[in-house]
Structure 1
């Protein structure tokens, strides 16, 4: 038996909820929620160049059953550039904003604990028609990309991921979480909820990508310190949780 000591028991204990809290609180009643629990935040970079993506229609080619079966991870990079329409539909449909009975402009097509939506989407573009190479932040409310850095991203991605096949991909999607959005309501439990939400969003990317004929491969391993310097996050409340290679 291994004698290595792992941290996950401590993490699980630190983010646990006591039974007495469940008995005394009702998370589903909004009548007395503070404003901080209700406002949905959209991160923006207002001083950065903005590229609005084409709002092209999407007619699904596969049934849900077919998409589930055909989804696969693929490390074989495609030589030709990614079509702009493919990137546009992939981002829009995976994060789509939808009206609900209580909110007409900020809920998404994937679930989020308490509708806090802490997950943010970044895209490192290397070869995509109509999009210059660079690092971008995706704004779902405007269906647009904000350019955070220009130029080839291969060397930076190689340092972050340590694999040439990732660095050479047409684009890499990065999912981070602004944990303070959830922590204001759920405390340390926010980290668990953010991981779950990133998984929900990732599965949207996988299924939509499959329907579009592009392999989207989820990647959980990367150098966290280099990743956060790459995105310019620094010592903040935002942390990268998950990533995907669009090959």
Structure 2
């Protein structure tokens, strides 16, 4: 099956839908909290509203910081990103959540697309444990030839449906919607970064491994020329 190529406008629209999906809930909670402050004079309700606003504002900020690196430009073409910054935004996504994140990586600057790949794989791996659990991220090697190993352990762990095909750029339906854009985009970034992604499952643990590709992959410039430029 040939690799699916999305029009640049369609890719941008689907990624924007994903970002909006992630931030609309905490932003809506902030609005609700402000309405309580305006209309309710009960001290306990006002205290609850302030707590809700604070928590929701932190969630929205964390999700936008994550999206800026995982989906956005985060620097000029060819820029590198500090793995410590990637760890910070990744852990921010899981604050107060049912899923915990452990991160082991060298203190180093890695090429932008490789950092974008690890962050997108973190989110893809989250869907492997729908009831929550632990995601363990290990990064070894240098920025030119790294290995990423993500282990997701939790009740009812499974390789998410269609995710392997979507990362390969070969969705069974021949199209991509807002639900499938994250693994599809992760595949685009993997090919731009010349990395191969594999999935395995044993018991209640799913392992996602990304390693340097053994075959020649399109460059970032090639990806841009095909209508899927990565910022």
TM-score surpassing 0.5? no
Highest relative contact order (Cα 8 Å, sep 6+), 1 or 2? 1
Q: Which has the higher helix share?
A: 2
Normalised by the length of structure 1, the TM-score is: 0.22
Normalised by the length of structure 2, the TM-score is: 0.23
